[in-house]
């Protein structure tokens, strides 16, 4: 019976910790998505090798800088990432999320 309690505690800990790890990767992905979106818009009607070369240059770190988000876009993204957080936990999360420049 004691072994089942230990296993249950490990599984429960893993389930509760998974959302914390998922939230840390989201802002980086969002930044890359914004960069891809901006490069696609700039590419316009380019096709084939021209488009491929342009996208490679645009998405590289030496290429065009990542577009900055407006305050409204940043608020919307932070609200989506905050999820079900409440009270002081949500307030602290929103403060750090909104203070990042991306």
76: how many CB neighbours lie within 10 A of its CB? Answer: 12
Question: What predicted TM-score, i.e. pTM, was given to this entire model?
Answer: 0.35
Q: How far apart are CA 65 and CA 42, in angstroms?
A: 13
For 2, 33, 39, the CA distances from 63, given in Å and listed in that order, are 58, 15, 10
C-alpha neighbours within 13 Å on the C-beta side of residue 31: 13
Q: Are 39 and 55 in contact (CB under 8 A)?
A: yes
Reading the chain (102 residues) residue by residue, the pLDDT tens digits are: 577 776 766 765 665 665 555 555 555 566 778 888 888 888 888 888 888 888 888 887 554 555 677 888 888 988 998 888 999 999 999 888 888 765
């Amino acid at each position: 019976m004691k072994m089942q309690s230990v296993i249950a505690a490990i599984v429960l800990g893993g389930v509760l910790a998974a959302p914390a790890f998922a939230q840390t990767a989201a802002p980086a992905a969002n930044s890359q998505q914004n960069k891809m979106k901006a490069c696609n818009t700039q590419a316009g009607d380019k096709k084939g090798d021209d488009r491929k070369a342009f996208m490679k240059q645009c998405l590289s770190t030496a290429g065009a800088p990542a577009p900055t988000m407006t305050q409204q876009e940043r608020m919307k993204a932070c609200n989506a990432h905050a999820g079900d957080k409440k009270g002081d936990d949500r307030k602290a999360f929103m403060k750090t999320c909104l203070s990042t420049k991306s």
